A and B are shown apart, each in its own frame.
Chain A
Amino acid sequence: MDIAVIRSYLPLFQEAGWLTLRLGLMGIALAIVVGLICAAVHYWRIPVLNKIVTVYIEISRNTPLLIQLFFIYYGLPKLGIRTNPAACGVAGLAFLGGSYMSEAFRSGLESVATIQRESAMSLGMTNGQTFRYVILPQAMSVSVPPFVANVIFLLKETSVFSAVSLMDLMFTAKDLIGLYYNTTESLFLLVLCYLVILLPVSLLGSLLERRLRYAGFGV
């Protein structure tokens, strides 16, 4: 291991790390939106959309992100739908993550017993109040662990972004290995960068889970 080499590579990895983090967070934010919409469609059983969402979830959960990205980036332009790599990465992550997020939210909503809703209604709460004060807090405590797991999963999945020529951490590492053969240093920095990104999320997640466990009474 050569410290001078590591020092000279550090700015490159820093830049790539920011790119990974930025696109990852954008993708996750979109995935949350998609997941919320899908979970809402399932929860209120909206007729036609319900079926579409089911199909979408099955497709998205049973195909790998790499294939989805290849299809979006190399396949769709042939139909005239052209995207730049960054948008493609974010879209792919949102497409994949949407279904995982939706499952997390749905499991939370479904875990709240019907009697909770009925009791709230009989106390004279409106639909909105019931959802806001009774359903949502209980659903959240169930949804948070899978939600955090999904965030970590999606951040890890960003590692395939290099396949659509985004200069993320994997791309930088592979490029540097190919150019200078400093394999050990490049891989060390690669692991380090991913640890810097993923460890805090993982620790924060377990803290949050412990904190929210109080909310689930009788679960």
Chain B
Amino acid sequence: MPDLGFEVLLKGKNFARLMGGVWVALRISLISVVISIPLGILLGIVMTWKNPISRVLTRIYLEIIRIMPQLVLLFLVFFGTTRSFGWDISGELASIIVFSLWGTAEMGDLVRGALISIPIHQYESASALGLSSGQTFLYIIIPQTIRRLIPLSINLITRMIKTTSLVLMIGVVEVLKVAQQIIEANRMASPNAAFGIYLTVFILYFLACWPISLVAKALERRWQ
């Protein structure tokens, strides 16, 4: 059995450093989720308006964000805007901006989908019962929307966590970068460390996303 690098992880502070990298990745995705959920809800409500101008604008925003790979968006913000506007932002800030823009678009689309999936007779019956439009929204529409929305938005969180792996490409030191550093530092002592360490990173990502996706699946099944 050749040395596959698992003991490199136990050397010194290597494992703690790796977990520090995980925390950087999780922090970026958590901040982006916290920003994009309220903004996405707002965007989703705006998208259901009948106003043609707001409709076209939100549609353009959504399509532009969705058709570009997230890595391209990262490049645009990190290399493009810094060059054009002459400001200086860190890789972490750039990725939070990009993931918030992206998350807002995705969340907005989910909210829009959930809102228009409520049949029109729900609104009509509510107003026939004498509820005001505010009451209709509060007691009839929102509870039904939330049921459809929560599993989908939990899925969005796992997608966000998976996408944070890309921030490596704009120089943020997250878990994959730390893994590379550890492998480089131990190249002489254990040349095969890449296997064990990348496998560990793989498992760490899986452990971060899997429980969340299980919760989403369970909720979806329960509320169907």
Q: Point out residues on A near B: beta carbons under 8 Å.
A: 58-59, 61-64, 66-68, 70-71, 74-79, 152, 156-160, 162-163, 170, 173-174, 177, 183-184, 187, 190-191, 194-195, 198-199, 202
The reply to whether B79 and A187 form a contact with Cβ atoms under 8 Å apart is: yes
The reply to whether B205 and A62 form a contact with Cβ atoms under 8 Å apart is: yes
The reply to whether B75 and A173 form a contact with Cβ atoms under 8 Å apart is: yes
The reply to whether B69 and A199 form a contact with Cβ atoms under 8 Å apart is: no
* A70 cross-chain contacts in B, Cβ below 8 A: 176, 198, 201
Q: Cα distance A70–B180 when bound, in Å? A: 10
B209 interface neighbour in A62, A77, A160, A170, Cβ under 8 Å: A62
Q: How far is the CB of B60 from chain A (nearest CB, A)?
A: 14
User: Assuming A174-B169, A194-B72, what are 10 further A-B pairs, CB within 8 angstroms?
Assistant: A62-B162, A67-B202, A75-B195, A162-B169, A163-B168, A163-B169, A170-B71, A183-B80, A190-B72, A194-B69
The reply to whether A75 and B213 form a contact with Cβ atoms under 8 Å apart is: no
**Given A62-B205, A68-B202, A184-B84, are A191 and B76 neighbors across the interface (CB < 8 Å)?**
yes
Q: Cα distance A67–B183 when bound, in Å? A: 15
Interface of chain A: mostly helix, strand, loop or mixed: helix
* A174 cross-chain contacts in B, Cβ below 8 A: 75, 169
Q: Cα distance A199–B2 when bound, in Å? A: 48
User: In this assembly, does B165 line the interface, its C-beta being within 8 Å of a C-beta of chain A?
Assistant: yes
Q: Cα distance A163–B80 when bound, in Å? A: 20
The reply to whether A67 and B176 form a contact with Cβ atoms under 8 Å apart is: yes
Q: How far is the CB of B190 from chain A (nearest CB, A)?
A: 10
Interface of chain B: mostly helix, strand, loop or mixed: helix
Q: How far is the CB of A92 from chain B (nearest CB, A)?
A: 12
The reply to whether B213 and A62 form a contact with Cβ atoms under 8 Å apart is: yes
* A77 cross-chain contacts in B, Cβ below 8 A: 194
User: In this assembly, does B67 line the interface, its C-beta being within 8 Å of a C-beta of chain A?
Assistant: yes
Q: Cα distance A17–B107 when bound, in Å? A: 30
Which residue of the partner chain B has the closest CB to A181?
B83
A187 interface neighbour in B80, B158, B195, B198, Cβ under 8 Å: B80
Which residue of the partner chain A has the closest CB to B71?
A159
The reply to whether B79 and A67 form a contact with Cβ atoms under 8 Å apart is: no
Interface centre among B4, B84, B183, B194 (most CB of A within 10 A): B194
Q: How far is the CB of B153 from chain A (nearest CB, A)?
A: 17
Q: Cα distance A177–B74 when bound, in Å? A: 14
Q: How far is the CB of A122 from chain B (nearest CB, A)?
A: 30
B168 interface neighbour in A66, A71, A75, A156, Cβ under 8 Å: A66
Q: How far is the CB of B76 from chain A (nearest CB, A)?
A: 6
* B165 cross-chain contacts in A, Cβ below 8 A: 64, 66-67
Q: Cα distance A158–B158 when bound, in Å? A: 19
The reply to whether B83 and A184 form a contact with Cβ atoms under 8 Å apart is: yes
